[in-house]
Each structure stands twice: as C-alpha cells, then as structure tokens.
Amino acid sequence: MSAHSIRHSAISQNIANADTPYYKRKEVLFEGYLRRVLYDGPKVRSSRPDGRHIPFSTEILKIRPTIHAETDSRYRNDYNNVDIDREMSILAKNQLSYNAIVSFAQSLNQTVQSVLQAAR
C-alpha cells in the first residue's frame, strides 16, 4: 500500500507541475520489480513440512518503490512532458487499485477474526 501512496504523491506532483516549463513527469516503478521477484527470482530453500506449501523468497522483503523521472519524452514545446489527461487516468487507476487492496485486507482481517473467535 505504501507504493500506492508514493505513486499518488508523484502523480499529484505531475498534475501540479503540468504548466511548469522543463518539468519532467515522475513515475513510480514497483510492480515490475515485484513480478520479477515473485516469478523469476531465486527461491529460498525453506523448511516446508508439506510439499504443497508455497516456496518463498526473502528477496521480496528488499523491494522498494522507485521514483523515476521520464526524461526521454516531450509533450509540449516547453519540454514539459506531462499529459494532464493521462495523469488523471493513472490517478484514478491507482485509487481503484488502492481501494481493492484495502478491501481485500479488511476482508482477510474479518476472516481471521472469525476463525479466532470460533476457536475459543
């Protein structure tokens, strides 16, 4: 969820600087790193009592969102590369993704609470 917060901040900066000459839009890179670690990264040999358990990698703990300035494009004559419509679209997508994660976390928390109460 922190990646979404950092992305929201970067998008807000892009929108605020949409009319600033020479401003270069910022983007947050995170999902690609996560995907690479989950699917291509080294698997740690862990003690798995059951072979059906999911193998894990400690590399996932090292992933941090990275802010990247997009310098190789130009949207206007003043070298500003912010497209306000695109930024608003990315902002909406980021908000929807964040809301879905929060909803899932709340649902998971309720399930755990129900299991704990049933075990008493």
Closest CA to 96 of 12, 32, 4: 4
Question: Taking the complete model, does pTM exceed 0.85, yes or no?
Answer: no
Q: Partners of 66 in the beta sheet?
A: 29
What is the per-residue pLDDT across 64-108, written as a single tens digit (0 to 9) for each? 888 999 888 877 889 999 999 999 999 999 999 999 999 999 999
**How many angstroms separate the CA atoms of 25 and 91, rounded?**
13
Residues 65, 7: contact at Cβ < 8 Å? yes
Q: State which H helix or E strand residue 68 sits in.
A: strand 66-69
Closest CA to 26 of 114, 77, 86, 78: 86
What is the per-residue pLDDT across 29-49, written as a single tens digit (0 to 9) for each? 988 778 777 777 655 555 666
